[in-house]
Amino acid sequence: MLITFGFVTPLTAGIILVIALVIFGPGKLPEIGKALGKGIKEFKSASEGDEKKEEARTEAKTEAKDQVKLEK
């Protein structure tokens, strides 16, 4: 029984890997993989940073509202 991940079957992944190997050559593939991994890592870091900033803004707004309520 074949396990599929979305539309990519093991056979499809193998064919894509062979085509990439023919186009880029065996020396260039590790560089491409490293660059792709670094880009994904930077994207995740940036998106997590945005979430932290949003949480900090929400927390600051809540604290400001609480402070106004206490002053009244």
- Report whether 39 contacts 47 (CB < 8 A): no
Amino acid at 44: K
- Could you tell me the two tokens for 61? 């707004």
Kindly state whether residue 60 falls inside one of the protein's structural domains.
Answer: yes
Q: Could you list the residue range(s) of the whole structural domain that residue 47 is in?
A: 27-71
Kindly state whether residue 34 falls inside one of the protein's structural domains.
Answer: yes
pLDDT higher than 70, residue 72: no
Kindly state whether residue 41 falls inside one of the protein's structural domains.
Answer: yes
Q: What is the pLDDT of residue 47?
A: 79
Kindly state whether residue 5 falls inside one of the protein's structural domains.
Answer: no
* pLDDT tens column, 28-51: 888 988 998 999 899 888 877 766
Print burial letters for 43-61: b (CB count within 10 Å at least 16), e (below 16).
eeeeeeeeeeeeeeeeeee
Kindly state whether residue 53 falls inside one of the protein's structural domains.
Answer: yes
* pLDDT tens column, 8-35: 788 888 999 899 889 988 888 889 889 9
- The number of domains in the chain is 1
**Higher-confidence position of 59 and 31:** 31
